[in-house]
Each structure stands twice: as structure tokens, then as C-alpha cells.
Amino acid sequence: MRRAWRWLAGRRFWTLALKELRQIRRDRRLTISLIVPPTLQILLFGFALDADVQNLRLGIVDESRTRQSRELISVLTENPTFHLAGAYATPAALGQDLGAGRLDVGVVIPHDFARLRLRERPATVQVLLNAANANTAQLAQAYVEGAVAWLNRSLDGVRAAPVELRAAYLYNPGLVSAWFIVTGVFGTLIILNGSLVAAATMIREKERGTVEPLLMTPASALEIVAAKIAPLFLLLMAMVGLVLAVARLVFEVPFRGSAVLVLAACACCVLTGIGLGTFISTFARSANQTQLISFFVNPPLAMLSGGLTPIEAMPKWVQPLTLLNPIAHFATIARAVLVKGAGLDVVYPNLLALIALAGMLVGVSAWRFRRQLS
Amino acid sequence: MRRIIAQARKELTQIRRDRLALALALVLPVMLISLLGTSISLTVTDIPIAIQDLDQTPLSRRYADAFRSSLTFRVMTLPLATAPETLLARGRARAVLIIPERFEREIRRGRPAEAQLLVDATDSNTALLTRGGAGQVTAAFARQLGPPRATPAVQTATRLWFNPGREPRKFYGPGFLVLGLSIFPTVLAALAMSREGEQKTILQVYVSSISAHEFLLGKVLAGMAIGLTQWLLAVGLMFTLFGLRFAGDPSPLIAGSVLFVFCVVSFGSLVGAAIPNQAAAVQAVALGGFLLAFLLSGLIFPVENIPAALRWISNLVQARYYVVIVRDAFLQGGGWPAVWWAVLAIGGLGLGFYGLAWRTMRRMQVKA
């Protein structure tokens, strides 16, 4: 412990860190790459990714052409989920447009609809759904059935169904999908940009052959690695602040929980990213190799994180793998603390996992980097 | 012509000798498509839901059992003493159903009983699915309770077209085929082009008698050979792992795929010619090829939901059109009448990219 203190207070570490800082400051591209892409990415992801089902194109074949059938149509189109895209003469024409992708939902009202209704016999309406997109189809089906159930209730008079379900949406009553996406993408941004920048600065020494002069300095390998990581850490934390500001100001993500907890999780995530980048850089011989290796690592890491799609929707054998994914833990923490306002008592397993992952990656990559030096 | 083929052969030999590039070309697309295509879905099939039964009567238990027997939900019982919010905050359950006291008594008296569903709405899509599923279970339960004659006045007979099992992988599998084909041929083409610039071998090309068109066409041809191999591998995956078949006439898919591969390879060559630095070129492709294809093509999230200010960009993203063609070929089967415009758009974009790449190359001169 005392040795560690003396080492940290030692002038060598600070000198080396200062050298790194100056090097980073002179590299305008690196600074820009830490400001522009993350901001753009979080804006793009937050605005463009929206799973909401709305404005589905509804096609109708009304063979009945009566007051009763028009009532049904108006009930269906009252909902903002559907908008009437066209009326068709025959089910065949409707089917053709559904097949060509010009419609999402088709409703066929039979010619005896009004007659059956007047005789108080049940009338059946045919609903055709383009189920290619399973998610949209499931929600659209629920909407159509809900609208028809509502119509039935108003037809049957005031008699309500024996059981009513009252739903309350907690944490996100407005159902803003950007809150889910932004908190999910946040971790992806930290890890991907962190690893990219770390790999770039680590590989530079190797590419330019400046490892030899570094070795000749009296600094130990540990000092060299630590001095490389520290300025990057500061820089990436500044990026985290920027992304947090965009999340708060542009997307109005609520900050319900403790800010310290969020920042602690961000710090762990940044360290994991740096560790990952250093790790990759120890395998590569040149800058473009690090980038190609990232192609193997990054897409699965980003997609299998639960950041964009729910982990529960993944196959059973993939779900345990997400426990090894730092982005998954970070997304859980960000959502729990920012949106749900949870405290340490809730997120401690994820935070511990993140710390463990960060420690492991930084440790292994420092060890590999050191081995390269000697 | 002979010079074009010679150039293409040289490119293929170069790829074959580079193990990392070869892995990138053949192994990674297959891995990525099979892993992500089967894993990514927005639809949670067994939503974890907790039930707190404050009534504890035969009828309330029957209501809870209705949820247990539905395929949509995975039910756990919440003890009476626990506050439902703690479970939701921990993310252990997506929703809590609270059956109130006097649930049975109210129903027996013919008064509507009201159950409460607390939904964790952090993920709004899953929240809506949960609400929809719970509503359907409740409606079915209410129908059982009602008097036997009470068939509702209007009934729906729903038919699911094109994907009757509502299997997400049949929708996302073709999507990731598009993503794979947008990334890998582009990266390889950009690398092959920028390498010439970075290692200054481009000078040899400049001093040789080859023309800009011949040089570019040779590169594009080699890239297309690799891209189409990847396409064949990916289509093989669609038939085996994803259980898809051609839904109709496959000729629009074949034409569209050849044009799409031409389009992405030209795009990669354009990036590589404009940026004579491999690392920077790969980064540009990652941004232009991967991110735009992923975000703005309707791969997972519908294009219609993108705000209009950003949506026009998606018209310039070739993957957006190719997604339409691939999904039509495997799911809807609309054929040429449905997708001719998408095939044309891809061809147009491809020619545009090729033209731009040629413009950067045409002078065959070292830039000052």
C-alpha cells in the first residue's frame, strides 16, 4: 500500500502522464474523434431508432356499405395507430396490395354484416395482418381486437365486462422510446469509442518505433502503462459528460437516481473500454489491423447487450453470455438509476460485475503490454 | 478486357494470401448473420410478470392461472408483504398484476372487478406488448365468466400472412443478411483501394498503360466475386438456419443482389480512392456503411418512425432498398411488380458511386 502511494506520488508517473496529455493535445484528430462521433451517434440513434407501432397502413374492403360497417371503420381509424390507406372493391385486390407491402393491415367486412347485426347474431370480420415483422403484427393484432372489444361494449349497452384491466405505466408514462435507446446506446458509445481511442494511442508507439526510447527511461513498465491510461481516462470522462448533457437536454431523459452512482458506473465502463482497446492493440501490428480486429469484436458486443433490443427476447443460450458483456451491465445500471431512480442496493450486482470486468481487462492488457515492452 | 480480368485476378490472389482479410471475407459474415439474426428480436416471448393476489379466492386463482397457461407470460407469485415496485426496480419482472380484495365478491354480485397492472415502461415496446397480452388474457377470462349466450356482437377472425408463426428470426434473418452484405464487401473494397494509396503501389498503376475504367472495373469485379460468394453463403444460411424459402419469383432477388454487391463495392472503392489511408478508410466505411445501413434501413426499427428531418437521408442508403427486396423474396413473394423500383434505385446508386469513384481516379495522376 505504502509503495503504491509513493509510486503514485512519484514524479515519473506525472511526467509520463504529462507527456501523454501533450501528445493527445497536439493530435487534433483524436480530440475531434472524441467529440463529434459520439454526439452524432447518440443523436442519430436516439432520433432514428423508435420501435413504436404507429401509422400502420390500413386497407378496408367494405362489402356491406351500411351505417353499421362505417361505424366499425370509424372505430378502427380513430386510433392513431392506423390510418386509412385505401378502400378496396375485392379481398383479392386487398391481398395483392398487402403482398406488395403497400399495406400493413387489411380488414374485410362481409356483405351480411349489417343483416346479422340487426338480427343480433354475431358477425365476423376478417382481419389480415402482414406478420413479416412479428413485433408490429403482435401489437397491431392487440389494437384491432381492443378496438372491436370497445365497439362490442358500446353496442351491448352500459354493461361492462366482468373483469377490467387497468394498466399503469411506471417510470415512463409517456412511453418515450428514446429513453430506452439512449440509455442503451450510452454504454455502447463509451466502450466502442474508448477502445478505439485507446487502441490508437497504444498502437502508435509500436508503429512509430518509439517503444525503445520509452524502455530506456528509468520508468517501470507499470508506470508507463498507468501514465498512458490516466489521460485517456480523463478525456473519456469528459466525453461521458458531453453525452450525459445531450441525453438530458435533447432527449430529456430523467435523472432520477444518484449522480455519483451513474458517474461511478461510467468510470468503470470507461476503464473497461480502455482495457479492451489496449488488449486489441497488443494483438495487432498496425493501426488498420486494430480496426479490423474491432470489426470482429464490436458488432456482437453492441448488438448482444440488451442496449437496443431486450435481452429476454434473445435465445436461451445467448442470454447467459450477456453477463460477460460490460455494455449489458452498464445499460441495466443506467436504466435503473436514471429512469427508475434506483439506488446502490438495486444495482450493486451489475456494478460489481462491471468493476470485475474492468479490473480483469485492464489487468490482462497491462500485463500483455508489459510483456511486449520487455 | 484482358487487362480488367488480369487486374481482378491480381486482387483475388492478394486477398487469398492475407489471412485476416480472408477471415473477414468468409468466416465473419456467416458468424455475424447466424449469431445476430437468431438473437435479435424486439418481441419478448415469455415476459416475466409477478402476480400479487390480495383476494385469495378460487376465482382470483383462476384468473392468475389464466396468465400461467398463456404462452406470453412467465408468472411468479409475489408475496403479499412485498411492495411491487421493488421487483420492477430490480428488473426481475416486467409487470405486476394486482388482484384486489373482494375480487370474487364483486364479480359474483355482477359488478365489474378491476385488476391493476403495473407495467415497467422503461422499454416502451415491451410495455405495450405486456399490456396487449394481459388485455387479451383478461378478455378471454371475462368471456368465460360471462353468461353463455354473450357472444360478442362483432368478432374478428385474424389471419397472419407471410409469417404465420410470428417468428422473429424470419424477419430479422434477412435483415442481417443485408447488414452483412453492407459491411464486409465494402470494407474489403475500401481496404484494397486505400492500400494502393498507402503503400504507394498506386504509382505503378499510374505509370502502366491501364486506364482508370479498366483499373476500377478490375477491382470492382474482384470485389463482386467475393461479395457474391458471401451472398451465396448467406442465402444458404437463410435456407438452413432460418428455415426460409423463396416465397415467389427469385429473379428480382438475384438481379437486386448483383446490383447491390456492385453498389457496395463501388462505394467501398470510392471511399478507398478518396482516403489513401487504410485505418481512416475503414473508419469511414464503418460510419457510412455500417451505421447508416443499421440505423436508416428499417432493419430492426421501422423507417416510418424516423423523424422526417432525418428520413430523407435513408433514400440515399442502398441497404434501405435491398431490405425491401430481400424481405419480399423470402416472405411476401410480391415479385417484380412489388420491388422493381427498389432494384432500379440500387442500380442508380451503384452507377452514381462508380461514377464518383472514377472521377477521383480518372486523371491517374499523383495528387500534389
Q: Is B24 on the interface with A (CB under 8 A)?
A: yes
- Between residues A28 and A147, the one the model is more confident about: A147
Domains of chain A: 13-49+175-373 (no CATH), 56-155 (3.40.1710.10)
Average pLDDT (B95-105) is: 90
**Model pLDDT, residue A325:** 92
pLDDT category of residue B348 using cuts at 50, 70 and 90: very high
Min Cα–Cα distance to chain B from A11, Å: 35
Residue A352: its pLDDT value, please? 94
pLDDT score recorded for residue B166: 75
Query: For residue B89, which residues of chain A lie inside 8 Å, CB to CB?
Result: 336, 340-342, 346
pLDDT over 90 at B344, yes or no: yes
Supply the pLDDT for residue B368: 47
Please say if the pLDDT value at position B72 is more than 50: yes
Distance from CA of A153 to the nearest CA of B (A): 8
Q: Does B153 touch chain A (CB under 8 A)?
A: yes
Confidence of residue A143 (pLDDT cuts 50, 70, 90): confident
* pLDDT of A60 above 70: yes
Q: Is the model's pLDDT at B364 over the cut of 70?
A: no
Query: Is a pLDDT exceeding 70 seen at residue A271?
Result: yes
**Could you tell me which chain A residue has the CA closest to the CA of B115?**
A165
Question: What's the CA dihedral at B257, B261, B264, B268 to 10 degrees?
Answer: 170
pLDDT band at B143 (very low <50, low <70, confident <90, very high): confident
pLDDT on residue A10: 66
Contacts of A168 in chain B (CB under 8 A): 116-119
Query: Which positions in chain A touch B338 (Cβ < 8 Å)?
Result: 99-101
Residues of A in contact with B331 (CB under 8 A): 132
**DSSP assignment string, B67-112:** HHTSTTEEEEEPPTTS-HHHHHHTTS-SEEEEEPTTHHHHHHTTPP
- Domain layout of chain B by residue ranges: 2-40+166-361, 47-145
B170 at A interface, C-beta within 8 A: yes
Q: Read off the pLDDT band of A157 (50, 70, 90).
A: low
Strands of the sheet containing B113-120, edge to edge, are: A163-170, B113-120, B95-99, B47-53, B73-77
| Reported confidence tier of residue A158, pLDDT bands at 50, 70, 90 | very low
Check CB contact under 8 Å for A101 and B310.
no
Q: Give B220 or A30, the one with higher predicted confidence.
A: B220
Mean pLDDT for chain A?
83
Nearest CB to B161: which of A129, A172, A335? A129
pLDDT at site B367: 62
Query: Nearest CA of chain A to the CA of B182: how many Å?
Result: 13
The reply to whether residue B332 touches residue A130, judged by beta carbons under 8 angstroms, is yes
Given a cut of 70, whether residue A5 has pLDDT beyond it is no
Contacts of B278 in chain A (CB under 8 A): 287-288, 291
For residues B325 and B314, give the distance between their C-alpha atoms in angstroms, rounded to a whole number.
16
pLDDT in tens, B50-64: 999 988 899 899 999
Chain B positions touching A123 (Cβ under 8 A) are 153-155
Give the closest residue to B11 by CA, choosing from B256, B272, B293.
B272
- Look at residue A8 in the predicted model and tell me its pLDDT: 61
B283 interfacial to chain A (CB closer than 8 Å): yes
Average pLDDT estimate for A231-244:
89
Residue A289 has pLDDT above 50, yes or no: yes
**In this structure, are strands A82-88 and A56-62 parallel, antiparallel, or unpaired?**
parallel
Q: In what order do the strands lie in the sheet with A56-62?
A: A82-88, A56-62, A105-109, A123-130, B154-161
Task: Please give the pLDDT value at position A55.
Answer: 79
Q: Which residue has the higher pLDDT, A88 or A161?
A: A88
Dist. CA A186–CA A329, nearest whole Å: 12
Q: What is the distance between the alpha carbons of residues A125 and A88, in angstroms, rounded to a whole number?
A: 15
ipTM of the complex: 0.81
Q: Which CATH superfamily is domain B47-145 in?
A: abc type-2 transporter like domain (3.40.1710.10)
| Among candidate residues B167, B72, B256, B133, the one with its CA nearest the CA of residue A132 | B167
Is the pLDDT score of A288 beyond 70? yes
CB contact under 8 A, B40 and A303: yes
Average pLDDT over residues A277-292: 81
Lowest mean pLDDT among A76-90, A285-299, B45-59: A285-299
How far is the alpha carbon of A13 from chain B, nearest alpha carbon, in Å?
31
Which three three-digit cell numbers place residue A190?
A: 463509451
Q: Does B47 touch chain A (CB under 8 A)?
A: yes
pLDDT at A9: 60
CA atoms within a 13 Å half-sphere pointing along the CA-CB vector of B25? 25
Q: Give the CA dihedral A96, B235, B253, B301, nearest 10 degrees.
A: 60
Q: Which residues of B touch A312 (CB under 8 A)?
A: 44, 46-48, 94, 126
Q: Average pLDDT, stretch B7-29? A: 81
CA distances from B129 to A80, A291, B42, B122, B135 (A): 17, 39, 10, 13, 10
Q: Considering only A219-228, B102-111, B206-215, which range has the smallest mean pLDDT?
A: A219-228
**Residue A32 pLDDT exceeds 80:** no
Which pLDDT does position A374 carry in this prediction?
57
The residue among A321, A325, A322 whose CA lies nearest residue A357 is A325
- Between A1-5, B177-181, B291-295, the lowest mean confidence (pLDDT) is in A1-5
- Please say whether the beta carbons of B175 and B299 come within 8 A: yes
**Cβ contact A131–B168 (<8 Å):** no
Does pTM surpass 0.90? no
Contact B84, B98 (CB under 8 A): yes
